[in-house]
Amino acid sequence: MGECGGDEADRERVDDVQGLDLADVDLNQDDLRDAEEDEQEREARKRTRQLGSDGQNEQHHSDQAQDEAERAVGVVGGRPEHAEAGEEELDDHADQVDHGKAVENHPSLRHVSTLRDPQDAATLSSSSMAVATRREYGLFIDGATAEPAGGEIRELVEPATGKPLAQAAMAGTDDVDRAVSAARAALEGEWGKTPPNERSRLLHALADAIVANRKELVELETRNVGKAVSSTKPEVFVAAESFRYMASAIGSIEGGTRPIGGSILSYTLKEPVGVAAQIVPWNYPIMLAGWKLAPALAAGCTVVLKPDPATPLTALRLAELAVEVGIPAGVVNIVPGDGPTTGAHLVSHTGVDKVSFTGSTATGSEIMRLCADAVKRVSLELGGKSPSLVFADADLEDAVASTAYGIYYSAGQSCEARSRLLVEQSVYDDVVQLVTDKAGAVKVGDPLDPETHMGSLISERHREKVHGLVETGRGEGAEVVTGGEPPAGDGAFYPPTVLAGVESGQTVAQEEIFGPVLAVIPFEDEKDAIRIANDVRYGLMATVWTGDPARGHRLARRIKSGTFTINLPYGAFPGIPFGGYKQSGFGREQALETLQMYLETKAVLLSTGARPTNPWSL
């Protein structure tokens, strides 16, 4: 079963994706424009030349354009098994996501690849952009699509419409065993023999492939997650840039000599940790897959990555692209599945050497327990309740507009969303009015509409959770000044919401709501602002808005957060370490520090003396 033709509404929505411009990208805009222009030039050249056949250089894999005709890669699936309900351990935000229904009696399982027919490179129609609708996706193990051993297939629902989107295979423990075995074989085989310069070339090629297939990836991500395309398009480019950064950072992997005097020579070696288990949540599937995969592959590790069972589509496609550009089979394996079964088995597997997890603090704590007995290397990027601090001397218009972005992009479903707005008492009322106006100006709607600022939440179940916390805030004395009520109609939408009169000890000021809800809290002075900012168990990110640069630097040393920005809403860039203090986790993403987490340091000592060593004169 390949692509089923989408209806006209789908085609109209998808057609809008093609003309998007980048907006609000945490990357160098000129570099991204150059990437798009280079892609256009490649497509133009392909129209005037005939590509070679099967023996062509593998460099052409990264030039396979989005506009070529599709070719499907199929695999037969078995009868599905229904997942047990109610199991939340190790399933990040499990209470918030409808992970789909098992599909009975599926005739076949087909993982559609976009390897294309070069002769159709000049052809593109809006219908060919409906890449996800009603398709079936398998697992990805040892370089190929694989059917699940247990036969479980789930129906994925488009969060913004409530309509069926695709069907996806779910991995069980046997599938994890196969994936870990494939990763170990690749580590001890071809990938383990691949020199650093070749790894760098392959990561650059994978980044090129992501850019070349950006239209498909953007649509998959938008429809699978429900967030606005104005967010998902930059996220696809961030994934590409993560691979570029780590491809270049490979040159930093080096040992050194350590002089200790006498007749002993010593030096150090850097070696890959081994097989890495990586788990990413549903809110940034492709971007976080890039954050995880890039440093692991750069270090020479192999990977078994578990995306959330509700949002596996772009991770599966990314693994296909990795093989297409020449990364050996078994280096990247993708096993969507539930946390209590698939996730728990993966992180506790004896064949796994390191675990990297992004998600909730509760799940991260459980992963630490599972890894403790084997003393596995663990890095965790967890929850947050991040503050924006607005002082009276700030440019209030700029501060409030940026604060609205900092909470409402991704519909607040972001670990570093600045969900607490701390405002100096003298301008509190003015700021509440300003942020209420800005919230009302946020365009909520069809995620594929390029004019949309904010799409839907991930599921109706998650919307219920968000609304329940808003009601808790209302009951504790907070004033809902705008939003706060689920709209009628299809999809898991929730309006931008502002809560005023919030006190630091209230639930909405302490708990991670993970939705478009902003709690506005007054403070008296700088000391009080620092106290309130630190009065949570998290410490992922903080932003201060002030006209006094010295104050900004003072607060950077006083507020406990892994990232601190001054008069800037952005904080995640390739090359800049990203991670948390306190219960927001440990370890860093996106930077040289990340690369080191996937490397072991070995000390080598050699006697250079002319006489034999005989310490006891035996």
Q: Which range, of 181-190, 374-383, 536-545, 608-617, averages the lowest pLDDT?
A: 608-617
Mean pLDDT confidence for 128-140: 72
Same domain, 441 and 352: no
Same domain, 50 and 178: yes
What digits encode the pLDDT tens for the residues 459-472? 999 999 999 999 99
Q: Is the pLDDT of residue 150 over 90?
A: yes
Residue 132: the pLDDT is: 54
Residue 613: the pLDDT is: 84
Same domain, 335 and 413: no
CB burial string 8-30: b at 16+ within 10 A, e below: eebbebbebbeebeeeebbbeee
Average pLDDT along the chain: 85
Classify residue 77 by burial, with Cβ atoms within 10 Å: 0-12, 13-18, 19+.
buried
Q: Which of 336, 366, 381 is a domain's end point?
A: 381
Backbone phi, then psi, for 416, in 5-degree steps? -100, 10
Residue 59: the pLDDT is: 37
Report the residue count for the chain: 618
Q: Is the pLDDT of residue 130 over 90?
A: no
Same domain, 329 and 442: no
The token pair that represents 497 in the structure block:
């919401």
CB 242 within 8 A of CB 268: no
Residue 241 counted as domain residue: yes
More confident residue, 421 or 66: 421
Order of all β-strands in the sheet with 109-113: 109-113, 69-75, 115-117
Residue 404 counted as domain residue: yes
Mean pLDDT confidence for 439-467: 98
Dist. CA 418–CA 167, nearest whole Å? 34
Residue 410: the pLDDT is: 97
CB burial string 318-352: b at 16+ within 10 A, e below: bbbbbbbbbbbbbbbbbbbbbbbbbbbbbbbbebb
Question: pLDDT confidence of 258, banded at 50, 70, 90?
Answer: confident
The token pair that represents 214 in the structure block:
């950006």
Question: pLDDT confidence of 96, banded at 50, 70, 90?
Answer: low
Residue 250 counted as domain residue: yes
Q: Which range, of 223-227, 548-552, 612-616, averages the lowest pLDDT?
A: 612-616
Same domain, 156 and 92: yes
Q: Which of 381, 402, 432 is a domain's end point?
A: 381
Per DSSP, 193 falls in state G
Same domain, 161 and 284: yes
Residue 261: the pLDDT is: 83
Dist. CA 411–CA 458, nearest whole Å? 9
Residue 152: the pLDDT is: 98
Residue 112: the pLDDT is: 38
Dist. CA 496–CA 445, nearest whole Å? 12
Mean pLDDT confidence for 216-230: 98
Backbone phi, then psi, for 116, in 5-degree steps? -115, 165
Mean pLDDT confidence for 223-241: 98
What digits encode the pLDDT tens for the residues 311-368? 999 999 999 999 999 999 999 999 999 999 999 999 999 999 999 999 999 999 999 9
Residue 602 counted as domain residue: no
Same domain, 310 and 413: no
CA 593 to centroid of chain Cα atoms: 18
CA 108 to centroid of chain Cα atoms: 30
Residue 38 counted as domain residue: yes
Domain tally, the chain: 2
Same domain, 143 and 261: yes
- End-to-end, the C-alpha distance of the chain in Å comes to 77
Dist. CA 559–CA 582, nearest whole Å? 12
Question: pLDDT confidence of 97, banded at 50, 70, 90?
Answer: low
What digits encode the pLDDT tens for the residues 276-306? 999 999 999 999 999 999 999 999 999 999 9
Residue 587 counted as domain residue: no
CB 335 within 8 A of CB 175: yes
CB 291 within 8 A of CB 279: no
Same domain, 359 and 402: no
Percentage of the chain surpassing pLDDT 70? 78
Q: Is the pLDDT of residue 94 over 70?
A: no
Dist. CA 305–CA 355, nearest whole Å? 10
Residue 39: the pLDDT is: 53
Dist. CA 243–CA 264, nearest whole Å? 40
What digits encode the pLDDT tens for the residues 548-561? 999 999 999 999 99
Q: Is the pLDDT of residue 14 over 80?
A: no
Dist. CA 249–CA 244, nearest whole Å? 9
3-state SS class at 263: coil
Residue 579 counted as domain residue: no
Q: Is the pLDDT of residue 156 over 50?
A: yes
Residue 599 counted as domain residue: no
DSSP E strands in 103-198: the ranges are: 109-113, 115-117, 135-137, 139-141, 144-146, 153-157, 164-169
Same domain, 327 and 451: no
CB 431 within 8 A of CB 393: no
Same domain, 349 and 401: no
Dist. CA 256–CA 266, nearest whole Å? 9
- Active-site amino acid positions: 381, 415
Q: Which of 566, 587, 606 is a domain's end point?
A: 566
Mean pLDDT confidence for 214-240: 98
| CATH number, domain with residue 530 | 3.40.309.10
Dist. CA 553–CA 200, nearest whole Å? 37
Q: Which range, of 221-235, 298-312, 602-616, averages the lowest pLDDT?
A: 602-616
CA 56 to centroid of chain Cα atoms: 34
| CATH number, domain with residue 211 | 3.40.605.10
Residue 615: the pLDDT is: 87
Residue 561 sits in which domain range? 387-566
Dist. CA 124–CA 551, nearest whole Å? 54
Q: Estimate the crossing angle of helix 196-212 against helix 285-299, to 10 degrees.
A: 160
- The vertex-158 CA angle with 153 and 163, nearest 5°, equals 85
Q: Is the pLDDT of residue 487 over 80?
A: yes
Q: How far is CA 166 from CA 57, 224, 339, in A?
A: 34, 9, 21
Same domain, 312 and 452: no
Dist. CA 557–CA 316, nearest whole Å? 41
Dist. CA 184–CA 355, nearest whole Å? 15
Dist. CA 109–CA 133, nearest whole Å? 14
Dist. CA 76–CA 108, nearest whole Å? 5
618 contacts: CB under 8 Å, gap ≥ 6: none
Nearest alpha-carbon partner for 237 in 197, 286, 191:
286
